């Protein structure tokens, strides 16, 4: 049992006057002008910045509240020869943040170390164990990245031990800001930084940028770490606009042209591709870096990222590859388990939300499993497992449903929670599970409409496949890097016909490859998870499709192909 048909919807028609301005002043093709205006790139100046990102357009780091205090505290630590601990979370954003800050500051302090909390023993964020580690090793300043904005009690504990904190976070603050020496977070209500959507590693990059400015260092001192910041942007699913677009544009160049040894080895074991996109970071590199913290110790990810010799890089890249393979098996097991739960209790499909629990599910993989559940059932989903004396879990959401807000409304049943609109984590006492499940369902009934529980494919515009050529692909490629706020364009076409050679592909026989007839030739198309549509396509006079366009490079040969998002037989709506 799984979700029914997807609804196809065109994106809102852009303002015609703004489209006409881009056409007349920039000689932009009408279709491209429409897509740009749809994305908020609605003036000639914005278009020029969009297609020509410049490092000089990055914001002044000192516009961020407390940045001056952070630099002053770092300089004080240098003057007094204090020991410094770089502290970060165990996911991609956290480990890249630690790799960036440690690499940047390691030759600027006599004594510096880094610390990643154990997902299973310490949980998310700043931990007493990490603070104790700093105390035991004579490290009196902790720079925390991608965590800390809600760690009021932990900062108080550190202060009692004579340890200061600089917090670099991008999560939503709670009612009280921790009393650290500096709290860098653009989402603070009292922070006037012009761009609010930096990843945690992006905050670390701004700290390094500020340090370079104050100390009159060459900007290359911090720009060399744009690759780390780009990995975090891709994996943390933050909007690729404004400053994130600049970072991702130049960070991808580093990854593709001059990858550091650790990433080079990870790329070699991950995929056979020369030019990586944001999507490749999301689907290939990110999961392998994440696997370290999910399956074992996230420090191995940091060691791979900061490796300076081939032997070390090889060792940890292979380790991450093996851990990711183990993670996949665990993921498949949890997915099979919750599918069985639904099969045995089909009334669950009538609920607005899903909360699944099993004692022995792997804590490090429940977030991925929650995403799998949404792919299958399209409901806000929480997957819980036992962690010591409590239940710990991850939530994932559907478009338009703020799962963090929903958890706030159920907070009386929780010990801890935190996260974003579409992803969050929480802990609770086992005896509160049923009460929480019903409270979460009640919130779902209040906040969710029936329309929100039907997956949708939004397409930019209708397109005649005869117009798909190298020139058109080249224009689309200039719009990269794609990601949230600048998603890969999706097109709609009807009247399509397969040339009769369409077939099912893939090890699990879930995908299809078609050759779509055109006026003078055919165009290859691939549809993941669409194997059940092949027979209907073959029998039908024509079919409709929503699709993306990409370049397929195989054994050195390049070709254009359509990536089918969904297909349906004409008039079968």
- Residue 217 sits in a domain whose CATH number is 3.90.1640.30
- Coil, strand or helix at 302: helix
Residue 511 contacts by C-beta under 8 Å, 6 or more apart in sequence?
Answer: 504, 505, 526, 527, 528, 529, 530, 531
Query: Position of tokens 């209040």?
Result: 446
- The residue range of the domain holding 31 is 13-42
Residue 466 contacts by C-beta under 8 Å, 6 or more apart in sequence?
Answer: 518, 519
| Half-sphere CA count of 28, side-chain side, radius 13 A | 27
| CA angle (242 as vertex; 238, 244 as ends), nearest 5 | 45
| Half-sphere CA count of 19, side-chain side, radius 13 A | 13
pLDDT at 552: 85
The answer, yes or no, to whether residue 209 has pLDDT greater than 80, is: yes
The answer, yes or no, to whether residue 105 has pLDDT greater than 50, is: yes
pLDDT at 31: 92
* 329 and 352 inside one domain: no
The answer, yes or no, to whether residue 109 has pLDDT greater than 50, is: yes
pLDDT at 35: 95
Strand partners, 383: 356, 394
> 3-class secondary structure for 464-526?
CHHHCCHHHHHHHHHCCCCECCECCCCEEEEEECECCCCEEECCCCCEEEEEEECCCCEEEEE
E-assigned strands of 159-247?
164-168, 182-184
Indicate the residue among 312, 340, 368 that finishes a domain: 340
pLDDT at 393: 94
Tens-digit pLDDT profile for residues 128-175: 999 999 999 999 999 999 999 999 999 999 999 999 999 999 998 989
Strand partners, 112: 84
Residue 143 contacts by C-beta under 8 Å, 6 or more apart in sequence?
Answer: 74, 84, 85, 86, 87, 101, 105, 165, 166, 168, 207
Of the listed ranges 1-15, 160-174, 271-285, 466-480, the least confidently predicted one is 1-15
- Cα distances from 374 to residues 47, 323, 328, 357, 395, in angstroms, run 36, 24, 17, 15, 10
Bridge pairing between strands 491-496 and 543-554: antiparallel
Is residue 169 a part of any domain in this protein? yes
The answer, yes or no, to whether residue 572 has pLDDT greater than 90, is: no
- The whole-angstrom separation of Cα 397 and Cα 380 is 4
The answer, yes or no, to whether residue 556 has pLDDT greater than 80, is: no
Q: Which of 490, 498, 435, 416 is nearest to 459 (CA)?
A: 490
* 435 and 378 inside one domain: yes
* 127 and 174 inside one domain: yes
* 515 and 539 inside one domain: yes
* 216 and 78 inside one domain: yes
Indicate the residue among 403, 438, 453 that finishes a domain: 453
Is residue 254 a part of any domain in this protein? no
Helix (H) or strand (E) holding 73: helix 67-79
pLDDT at 421: 85
* 350 and 336 inside one domain: no
Strand partners, 558: 553
* 197 and 100 inside one domain: yes
- Coil, strand or helix at 394: strand
Spell 95-132 as b/e; 16+ CB within 10 A means b.
bbbbbbbbbbbeebbeebbbbbbbbeebbbbbbeebbe
Indicate the residue among 308, 325, 340 that finishes a domain: 340
Find out whether 460 and 39 touch, Cβ atoms under 8 Å: no
Average pLDDT over residues 295-316: 94
* 357 and 330 inside one domain: no
* 476 and 571 inside one domain: yes
* 177 and 80 inside one domain: yes
Tens-digit pLDDT profile for residues 182-198: 999 999 999 999 999 99
Average pLDDT over residues 386-394: 93
Tens-digit pLDDT profile for residues 335-374: 999 999 999 999 999 999 999 999 999 988 999 999 999 9
Q: Determine what percent of the chain is predicted with pLDDT higher than 70.
A: 99
- Residue 405 sits in a domain whose CATH number is 3.10.310.30
pLDDT at 508: 85
The answer, yes or no, to whether residue 121 has pLDDT greater than 90, is: no
Query: Position of tokens 């077939």?
Result: 503
Is residue 250 a part of any domain in this protein? no
- Coil, strand or helix at 568: strand
Is residue 54 a part of any domain in this protein? no
User: What is the reported pTM?
Assistant: 0.90
Tens-digit pLDDT profile for residues 19-46: 999 999 999 889 999 999 999 999 999 9
pLDDT classification of 4: cutoffs 50, 70, 90: low
Radius of gyration (C-alpha) of the chain in whole angstroms: 25
- The whole-angstrom separation of Cα 266 and Cα 259 is 10
Output the average pLDDT for the chain: 94
pLDDT at 272: 81
Is residue 490 a part of any domain in this protein? yes
pLDDT at 2: 47
| CA angle (447 as vertex; 446, 453 as ends), nearest 5 | 115
Under DSSP, the state recorded for 432 is G
Average pLDDT over residues 397-421: 92
- Residue 570 sits in a domain whose CATH number is 2.40.50.460
Q: Determine what percent of the chain is predicted with pLDDT higher than 90.
A: 86
Query: Position of tokens 């020496």?
Result: 181
Of the listed ranges 398-412, 414-428, 475-489, the least confidently predicted one is 414-428
pLDDT classification of 565: cutoffs 50, 70, 90: very high
The answer, yes or no, to whether residue 3 has pLDDT greater than 70, is: no
């Amino acid at each position: 049992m799984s979700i029914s048909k997807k609804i196809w919807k065109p994106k809102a028609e852009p303002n015609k006057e703004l489209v006409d301005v881009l056409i007349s002043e920039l000689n932009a093709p009408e279709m491209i002008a429409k897509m740009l205006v749809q994305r908020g790139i609605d003036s000639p100046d914005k278009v020029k910045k969009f297609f020509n990102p410049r490092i000089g357009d990055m914001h002044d780091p000192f516009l961020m509240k407390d940045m001056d205090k952070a630099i002053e505290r770092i300089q004080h630590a240098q003057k007094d020869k204090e020991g410094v601990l770089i502290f970060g979370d165990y996911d991609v954003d956290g480990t890249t943040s630690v790799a960036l800050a440690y690499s940047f500051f390691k030759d600027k302090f006599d004594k510096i170390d880094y610390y990643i909390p154990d997902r299973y023993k310490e949980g998310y964020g700043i931990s007493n164990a990490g603070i104790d580690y700093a105390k035991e090793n004579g490290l009196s300043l902790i720079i925390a990245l991608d965590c800390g904005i809600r760690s009021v009690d932990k900062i108080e504990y550190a202060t009692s031990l004579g340890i200061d904190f600089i917090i670099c976070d991008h999560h939503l603050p709670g009612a009280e800001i921790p009393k650290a020496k500096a709290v860098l977070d653009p989402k603070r209500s009292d922070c006037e930084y012009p761009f609010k959507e930096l990843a945690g590693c992006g905050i670390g990059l701004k700290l390094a940028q500020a340090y370079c400015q104050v100390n009159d260092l060459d900007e290359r001192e911090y720009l060399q770490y744009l690759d780390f910041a780009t990995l975090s942007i891709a994996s943390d699913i933050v909007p690729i606009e404004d400053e994130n677009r600049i970072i991702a544009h130049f960070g991808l160049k580093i990854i593709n042209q001059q990858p550091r040894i650790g990433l080079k080895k990870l790329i070699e074991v991950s995929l056979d591709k020369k030019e990586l996109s944001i999507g490749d970071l999301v689907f290939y590199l990110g999961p392998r870096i994440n696997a370290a913290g999910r399956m074992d110790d996230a420090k191995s990810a940091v060691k791979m990222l900061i490796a300076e010799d081939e032997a070390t890089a090889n060792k940890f890249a292979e380790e991450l590859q093996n851990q990711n393979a183990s993670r996949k098996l665990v993921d498949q097991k949890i997915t099979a388990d919750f599918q069985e739960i639904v099969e045995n209790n089909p009334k669950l499909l009538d609920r607005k939300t899903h909360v699944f629990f099993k004692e022995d599910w792997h804590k490090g993989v429940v977030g991925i499993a929650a995403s799998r559940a949404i792919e299958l059932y399209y409901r806000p989903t929480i997957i819980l497992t036992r962690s010591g004396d409590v239940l710990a879990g991850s939530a994932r959401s559907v478009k338009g449903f703020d799962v963090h807000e929903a958890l706030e409304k159920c907070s009386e049943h929780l010990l801890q929670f935190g996260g974003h609109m579409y992803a969050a984590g929480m802990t609770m006492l086992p005896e509160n599970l049923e009460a929480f499940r019903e409270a979460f369902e009640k919130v779902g009934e209040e906040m969710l409409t029936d329309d929100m529980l039907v997956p949708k494919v939004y397409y930019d515009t209708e397109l005649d496949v005869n117009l798909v050529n190298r020139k058109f692909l080249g224009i689309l490629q200039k719009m990269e890097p794609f990601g949230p706020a600048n998603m890969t364009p999706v097109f709609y076409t009807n009247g399509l016909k397969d040339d009769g050679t369409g077939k099912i592909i893939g090890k699990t026989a879930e995908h299809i490859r078609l050759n779509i007839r055109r006026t003078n030739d055919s165009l290859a198309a691939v549809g993941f998870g669409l194997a059940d549509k092949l027979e209907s396509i073959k029998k039908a006079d024509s079919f409709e499709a929503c699709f993306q366009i990409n370049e397929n490079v195989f054994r050195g040969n390049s070709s254009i192909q359509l990536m089918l998002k969904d297909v349906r037989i004409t008039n079968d709506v």
